Amino acid sequence: MRPLPSRTSLVAAATGLALAAGLAVATPASAAGSNYMHTTHASKACLVHGNLPKTGVDKSYGWRVAKGHALPVRYTVGKYTMVIDRSRKHKALHWGFIAKSCLVDPYAYDTSKHRLKDRRGVGGDGKVKKVVVAPKAGHGRKTLHVSSAGTLRNAPKSFVIGNVRAHETFVITKASCGHHGSSAWIFGHDKATGRWGYVQSKHLPACR
């Protein structure tokens, strides 16, 4: 009598069949390297900025956190740390920049708990990647209008580098945006933050 196949072999066989059929396969969280942030806490009451503070950027856009509030760290840039506030996940604005001086431990770490350098973060594959907070500029051709708040990213589904708001202008590199699904990522220049990056088309009516 042949032994029953192991669970691992069954999963591998099912995955192979799914790939052969062109189906999407859900990868276990541990294999996908989703453990890419460590949680620290606010050392005092502070403001989390929706966008990296610099000249010309609205520094008041954001939200306040109390001392002791939990904030997972994504990466650091200069005097600031990019964090996510999970208590605001139901709100469009939940990623932001907070001063390092406001956190008990403001640094990002790799999956082996080694402190990362500035502008470094762990990707979805578990590997350390350089975080480009100012993507290379394109040539703006068409001005669009943002209809709702959303994240600005340095690449599709990649690191958050800021946030866009309703009524802001977003300049794309094409004469027309065309028609895309709501989850598509559109490259352009957000005038409010002065940064180039990617915004999902669900926030850009002209792209749907």
What's the CATH superfamily of 142-207?
Answer: SH3 Domains (2.30.30.40)
pLDDT exceeds 80 at position 33: no
Where helices occur in the chain by DSSP H, the ranges are 7-20, 29-32
Q: Read off the pLDDT of residues 51-71 as tens digits, 9 standing for 90 and up.
A: 999 999 999 999 999 999 999
Q: What three-state secondary structure class fits 204?
A: coil
* Cα 42 from Cα 164, distance rounded (Å): 25
pLDDT exceeds 70 at position 130: yes
Give the pLDDT of residue 11. Answer: 40
Cα-trace Rg, the chain: 20
Structure tokens at 89: 């996940």
Query: Is residue 118 very low, low, confident or very high in pLDDT (cuts 50, 70, 90)?
Result: very high
pLDDT exceeds 70 at position 157: yes
Domain-wise residue ranges, the chain: 38-128, 142-207
Nearby residues of 84 by Cβ (< 8 Å), 6 or more positions away: 37, 71, 72, 74, 94, 95
Query: Is residue 124 very low, low, confident or very high in pLDDT (cuts 50, 70, 90)?
Result: confident
pLDDT exceeds 50 at position 80: yes
Please provide the average confidence, as pLDDT, over all residues in the chain: 87
Q: What is the mean pLDDT of residues 193-197?
A: 96
Give the pLDDT of residue 26. Answer: 33
pLDDT exceeds 80 at position 176: yes
Torsion over CA: 42, 46, 50, 53 (sign): negative
* Cα 27 from Cα 48, distance rounded (Å): 32
Cβ atoms 116, 82 nearer than 8 A: no
